[in-house]
Amino acid sequence: MRPFTPSGALALALAAAAACAAGACGKQDKGALHVVSIGGPPQLVEPSAGPLSPGQALLIANSAQGLVRLDARGQIEPGLAERWNVSDDGLSYVFRLASTHWPNGRKVTAEQIARMIRRMLAPGSKSELKDSLGAIDEIVAMTDRVLEIRLSAPRPELLQLLAQPAMGLVYKGQGTGPFSVERRDGQLRLSRTVSTPDEEETTEERLELSGATAEQAVAQFAAGTADLVLGGTFVDLPTARAASVPDTALQFDPASGLFGLVPTRTQGPLASPEMRQLLSQAIDREALTAALKVPGLLPRATVLEAGLSNVADPAPPAWTQVAIADRRPQIAAEAERRLDGERPIIRLRLPAGPGSQALLDRLKQDWGAIGFEVQRATSAAGADFTLIDQVAPSTSAAWFLRRFRCGTARVCDEQVDEMLDKARSTPIAAERGALLLEASKRIDSLQLFIPLTAPIRWSLVSPRVTSFAGNRFGRHTLIGLEERLTRGE
């Protein structure tokens, strides 16, 4: 990446980090990898209390595993459950727990785990996965080490959901690993004992984990005092690109999910589906994705993406086949006709950060070309559109669509809700897929969401970290960071 001339807070952070790198301050223990999560300090919290911050999710995933967990490439591997079986009809998942104990020495039992999962799904739970797990009908402890989850309808993506940090199991403020956690001198120190295959020798894997702003995290990495930075989004991507680090250090997840604009007005000149369609068609998505320079990032004009489970890939709208320069005159003329010469200011609610400014500038250019002024909204109440930037926790199409149900989205449609309700209750996979596809088409036709592209998730990876791999969930295990992945793992 190219060097740059820093300014403001980033300049101070880089200067301080450079001084440390030159020996002006103490360095970390070279035996432990230093991992930095962008955002607030990592904390071990109860997942049912609400959505997790990136630091909280990272710590829970690596110190309070659930029944299963994700490996470096986002594949399912054993957690508390050493193995599991799925019934032929897909309605029963039986897990056999490994023989293990909580940090206080108490034995982990299936009944304890059942109670914890029930709490996550209870009416008062604020778990971010509560709605996605709506097909769970019953959770039964069959023996001390055998647990069954029974479903009202098949859900092939259940294991993906159970492997998410939001399904991590925290007991009296502690988890079962794979790492144990110690707080020392304001720093989180993670460790785990690793046995050889014959269990004759053991080694200790040690990490230091902290939270920081994007500017601080990038500065630490540039100075060599951080080995791995996780949790980057489009908001702070310009900060990473501006830093003087090797080109190979910046790595991206092939993230799946929603990245686009959600309408918030039910009345006014911008409230009609027709106006939202015109605004969507006026966006130069190709220019947006080209400017972001993220490998594999594609423009998107439908709420669903390709490759989701049990549903056909969405067909792009016909207007996407017309070059932006050719369709803009017609869009401008239609907007003029519908608004009778008036042009309301479009106000967008965006997170703070240089990436948001770049997106705002892009929309100012695109919507300005058809006669609209665009401003940043100063409050949620004053916004016409707000940005959604979320990574999908599974390959289920339902997750993409249920975000726009009435009661969740301010601008919604009752017919979409009816289709989603039917899709949730049907036991027939083909019928469920057809209902979800039909609901997605209606969401697109009413423009209840203006898609732009996929979510962007980036990391900074040093040569010392040899097992890093991007994955669709944007989740990263800290296990074996210095082990080398082999092809096909």
Query: What residue spans define the domains of the chain?
Result: 31-63+177-255+456-488, 65-170, 257-453
DSSP lists the bridge partners of residue 123 as: none
From CA 233, how far away is CA 305, in angstroms rounded?
Answer: 19
CATH architecture of 31-63+177-255+456-488: 3-Layer(aba) Sandwich (3.40)
The CATH code belonging to domain 257-453 is: 3.10.105.10
Helices and strands: H and E segment counts in the chain: 13, 18
- Could you tell me the strand order of the sheet in which 457-461 lies? 180-184, 187-195, 202-212, 33-38, 228-233, 457-461, 250-252
Specify the pairing of strand 81-86 against strand 92-97.
antiparallel
Non-local CB neighbours of 391 within 8 Å, separated by 6+ positions: 255, 256, 257, 455, 457, 472, 473, 474
Side-chain-side CA neighbours of 297 within 13 Å: the count stands at: 24
Kindly state the helix (H) or strand (E) to which residue 86 belongs, with its residue range: strand 81-86
The confidence score (pLDDT) of residue 135 equals: 95
Side-chain-side CA neighbours of 194 within 13 Å: the count stands at: 10
- Is residue 259 a contact partner of residue 449, using CB atoms and an 8 Å limit? no
From CA 412, how far away is CA 423, in angstroms rounded?
Answer: 17
The confidence score (pLDDT) of residue 212 equals: 96
The confidence score (pLDDT) of residue 199 equals: 67
From CA 127, how far away is CA 48, in angstroms rounded?
Answer: 4
Cα end-to-end span (Å), the chain: 30
CATH architecture of 65-170: Alpha-Beta Complex (3.90)
Number of Cβ within 10 Å of residue 9's Cβ equals: 12
Q: Tell me the mean pLDDT per 10 residues along the chain, length 489.
A: 39 42 41 93 93 96 97 97 97 97 94 96 95 96 98 96 97 93 87 79 91 97 97 97 94 98 94 96 97 96 96 95 96 93 92 96 97 95 97 98 96 98 94 97 98 98 96 97 70
